[in-house]
Every structure is written in C-alpha cells, then in structure tokens.
A and B are shown apart, each in its own frame.
Chain A
Amino acid sequence: MADTLQLKIVSLKEVVYDDYVDSVTLPTKAGEITVLPNHVPLISHLSKGSIRARCKGQQKSFELDGGFMEVTSESRLTVVLQ
C-alpha cells in the first residue's frame, strides 16, 4: 500500500508539477474533493479554481481554468489542464 500520492500536473506547454504529496484537493464539476493515497480509481472533469497539494505540512497551490484528472490504482494522480 502506498502512503504517498504521486501528483503530476501537465499543461500543453510543460509539466507543471511532478512529485509525491500527502493529499490533493481539487475542484471538480461535482464539487470540491480531496484525494488521499489509495483512493479508488477515478476520472473526473475539473472546473475553474485552484488545486491545493499538501506535503509534509507544507501547502502548494495551482490555479486552473479547467481540465481533467485521473487517479489510478497505484495512487497516481494526473491532472491535465485545459
């Protein structure tokens, strides 16, 4: 069982972020969700807002206009920005 989550945020221009974090909060079309390690596989449509990633007490935040996210069974979270 993984105890961290691999977060990867990609845009058309670059890989914005690629590292291991403890939890991620994202704005989906159906409301804000927080993804922890070992989340069930999920694909969701993101709306405008900010992604907040927490890693060892520190918080990082990324603005987005929309996009998609995918959580795989290996605790890998990929966000594609629009």
Chain B
Amino acid sequence: MATLRTIRLRIKGTKNIKQITRAMEAVSAVKMRKSQGVALAARPYATAALRMLHNLTTSQKASFSGDAQFNLLETRKVKTTLLVVVTSDKGLAGPFNTNVLKKAEGFIKSATGAVTIATVGKKATEYFTRRSRKPALSWTGFGDYVEVKEVEPLFDFVFQAFTDGQADEAYIVYTNFLSAMKQEVVIRKLLPFSEEGLLAMVQGIVPEKGRFADYNANTAKENANTANNEYLFEPSPKEIFDAILPALLKIQIYHAILEANASEHSSRMIAMRSATDNASELIKSYTVSMNKARQSAINKELAEITGGSEALAV
C-alpha cells in the first residue's frame, strides 16, 4: 500500500491536470462555436456561386462532365490521384486525426495508380513522412480562423497539378462537422468538377442540430424558381466558366478547412470533457485510499500506545 504522502501528491497532481483539461474544454467550446459561425457565413456565397454555375450549364446545354472545352471539367483516364489530407496542427483532440488518417490510408490502398499526397496540418505531415511517403505539399500553421488568402498556396497547388496533368483526379479528405457531438470523416472529389459533388458540399455545410440547423429550409425557398431562364452572358460563357470554376474550387478547399477546424475543436472539447471526468473519478478513488491509509496509520499508532502502556502497567 502506498504511503499517505505519495497518495496526497497524486491527488494534487490529478487536481492540476483536471484544472487544465477543464480550461481546455472551455476554450475549445468557444472556438468551436466561432469556427462554426465562420463556416456558415460563407454559405450564402457558396450557394449563389453554385446557382450561377447551375444556370450556366443548363442554359448552355453544356454537358457538365467531359466537355473538353472547360479543362476543369475534363475527365481523364486516372493515372495519378492527388489526395489532400486535412488534419490539425495540435494533438489532444481525441480520435480526430486518427480517423482522418485511417480514411486516407484506406483510400490510398484502394486507389488504382499512384497517389500523390498533400497535407494540411502537422499531424498528417508527420504521419506520412514517418511512413516514407513524403507529401508533395505540406501546409501547416494555419490559424484557427483561416482567411481565404491563406488557402491560396494550397489552391494553386491543386489547380496546377490538375491542369499540368500531374494529377488526373483530386480528392480531399476532411472531417465534416455535423454537430458538437458528431463529426464525420468524408472524402470529396475536388477535380474534375461534378455538380453532385458541389451540391453535397454546400448542403454539408449546415450542421444537423443546434443553432444553425434550420438554415437549409430557408435557402431552398430562396433558390426555387431560378432555373429555366434564358441567360445572357458577358463577356462569353467560356470566359465566365473559366473564372467561376477556380473560384468554386477555392471555396471548396476553404470550406473543407473551416469544417475540419470546427470539428477539431469539438473533438478536443469532448476529449477534454472525458479527461476531466476521469480526473474527478481518480481523485475520488485516491481520496478513499488516502483515508484508508490514514486510518490504518492511526490504528497502528493506537495499538502501539496501548501495547506500550500495558507493558508498563505490568
């Protein structure tokens, strides 16, 4: 049995840890709410851009996929795939990074042909470097609330890789924020563009529950009855296509990172909450054994005293 002093030290240490984890939980909760708000603020933009693209394609009768005129829509035979893996810079976020990496690993195994990897966040970079699969581009140190400008290098890389023919397809794997308790790792196709993929992304922006959950119903109303218009294009449909597609790609990447950010914080919040709970339980059991140790020490002393006085009385 441990001595009284060591148990007391342990209780003190656990209490300190509990304080830290509780503080981290509170910080993550605030950050989660904020990054969720940022992710949602970009939604009207994404829906508007998407609607334009939709109108563009329908009124142009341009087939959305496989039109060689617009090179971002071009489907090629897949020799090399580019995979963007979005993780966090920091750990202590529960299973957040492991889940993403597991999914990425599964994707790489099932992919036909070579896979080039680009990583966002220190954790993915470390993971792939350790497995001697050095990422073609690793991008770390983005803040909690990313600016669109900061995403530019990553966007340029994906765009270049596709247009130069270094990659025939581009995917992104990230964690989608559904609610504070529920996140889901998803793989989305970035390039070549497909309308379904974009739609899935835009709809995925809204969380299932919570403050912003009724958002989808409102925007659905707003977007009704906009199809079937005959549009004029200035300067020309092709020019607009060429400009709007990269913009959409940028939004998509930006969004994935925002979502991952919100997920990271909520995942950390949950991990820290259970850590705090565990610490409380540990303290409880330590206190019980401390009391036991103290009582047995008292008993021992009492026995010694009575034993001593009896010996003197004889």
Q: Do A and B bind each other?
A: yes
Q: Is the CB of B244 within 8 A of A68?
A: yes
Contacts of A68 in B (CB 8 A): 49, 52, 240, 243-244, 247
Q: Chain A interface: which of B73-81, B104-112, B135-143, B223-231?
A: B223-231
Interface residues of A in 10-52 (CB under 8 A from B): 10-15, 28-30, 33, 40-45
Closest-CB distance, A51 to chain B (whole angstroms): 15
Complex: how many Å from CA A81 to CA B148?
A: 12
Q: Is the CB of A12 within 8 A of B52?
A: no
Contacts of A14 in B (CB 8 A): 41
Chain B residue with minimal CB distance to A12?
Answer: B42
* B contacts with A: majority SS: helix
Known: A28-B234, A41-B232. A70 touches B225 (CB 8 A): no
Q: Is the CB of B52 within 8 A of A43?
A: yes
B20-58 interface bits toward A, Cβ cutoff 8 Å, 1 = contact, 0 = none: 000000000000000000100110110011011001100
Interface status of A61 (Cβ within 8 A of chain B): no
Contacts of B240 in A (CB 8 A): 43-45, 68
Q: Is the CB of A41 within 8 A of B49?
A: no
Q: Is the CB of B45 within 8 A of A44?
A: no
Contacts of B41 in A (CB 8 A): 12-14
Q: Among A8, A68, A73, A74, which residue has the most Cβ atoms of chain B within 10 A?
A: A68
Chain B residue with minimal CB distance to A31?
Answer: B234
Contacts of B49 in A (CB 8 A): 68, 80
Interface status of A72 (Cβ within 8 A of chain B): yes
Interface status of B155 (Cβ within 8 A of chain A): no
Q: Among A12, A13, A15, A42, which residue has the most Cβ atoms of chain B within 10 A?
A: A12
Known: A28-B235, A30-B234, A42-B232. 14 other contacts (CB 8 A): A10-B48, A12-B42, A12-B45, A12-B148, A15-B44, A29-B239, A40-B230, A41-B232, A43-B231, A43-B234, A44-B233, A70-B52, A74-B226, A82-B247
Question: What are 12 inter-chain pairs, A to B, with CB distance below 8 A?
Answer: A13-B38, A13-B42, A14-B41, A41-B55, A41-B231, A41-B232, A45-B239, A68-B49, A68-B240, A70-B48, A73-B229, A80-B48
